[in-house]
Amino acid sequence: MDHQSIIDTISTAVGDTPGIEALFLSGSHATGLADAYSDIDFVMVAADGATDVVSALWRDAVAQTGEIVLWWDRTTVPVLINAITADWTRTDVIILKPEQMGHHTQAGLKPLFDHKGLHATLAKSPAAGQPNLKKFQYQIEEFVRILGLLHLAVGREEYINGVLGVFHLRAALVELMIEETAAPNRGGLLHLNRLITDDQKRVLMAMPAPKPEREGMIAAHLAYAAAFLPRARNRAGALGVEWPERFEEVTWARLKESLDIDCPYPRT
């Protein structure tokens, strides 16, 4: 069953149920960015919210689209149900009461049915976002902290666990690149290609793979430090975020003393 057929089937299954006031598409299907690999995100408005009765109704609707092989019923978020059917179609629904819709916007939702005209009462689009300076400062400090743990991992010869530090550094670099582009409609984890530039992709693709051995682990940490820290320093300056100068200084001093490695970029 293709995505549109799934959407139509679910919408029809719940559309005439008393107490179900609206059903919207959200995510990539609402913004026109969906592809064959996208999940299908719904927002359902129920008078009583995410009750067991509404959950059972939703399960019956999803079951009409295929055999359910995974069902997470309000497991991670009290109003969220995740499902996967046998053809690996992923459907997610957030079930809200009408008064809980305030943070949604018209731009982020596509009505499938809307019995009480709720969509028209929402803000047209999100307010222009501002960079989260506190979060960015934490990300910088966390990067330096993870980098500094390299001396501990090498000293203990914890090369298998030590490569986890590389993944943390990579995640920080990717997040920084996304922030640099300020791309709208970030979507899920597997939408990176449309969020960063070709130059940024080349930087990421050139990063060495983490290897569970001494020299490979050191090389990967240094490569990510060389890619992340200058970019982060420039962005911090532009945003007026205080750079953790002393923390970075003593971190490089510790790495020099213990591993005889130097900072891979000019700090001044």
Task: Find tokens 């990421």 and name the residue.
Answer: 204
Cα–Cα distance list, 253 to 143, 153, 158 (Å): 16, 16, 21
pLDDT of the residue at 36: 87
pLDDT of the residue at 102: 86
Q: What is the mean pLDDT of the chain?
A: 92
**Confidence band of 185 (pLDDT split at 50, 70, 90):** low
Residue 135: Cβ within 10 Å count: 11
- Given a contact cutoff of 8 angstroms between Cβ atoms, the answer to whether 218 and 154 are in contact is yes
What the chain holds in terms of domains, given with CATH numbers, is 3-121 (3.30.460.10), 133-259 (1.20.120)
Q: Is the pLDDT of residue 191 over 80?
A: no
Please choose, from the candidates 190, 146, 183, the residue with its C-alpha nearest in 3D space to the C-alpha of residue 165. Answer: 146
The token pair that represents 148 in the structure block: 């500094």
Please choose, from the candidates 27, 26, 56, 40, the residue with its C-alpha nearest in 3D space to the C-alpha of residue 88. Answer: 40
- Given a contact cutoff of 8 angstroms between Cβ atoms, the answer to whether 235 and 180 are in contact is yes
Question: What mean pLDDT is predicted for residues 197-223?
Answer: 93
Residue 195: Cβ within 10 Å count: 18
Global pTM value: 0.75
Task: Tell how strand 20-26 and strand 40-46 pair up.
Answer: antiparallel
Question: What mean pLDDT is predicted for residues 15-19?
Answer: 96
List beta partners, residue 93: 42, 81
pLDDT of the residue at 180: 86
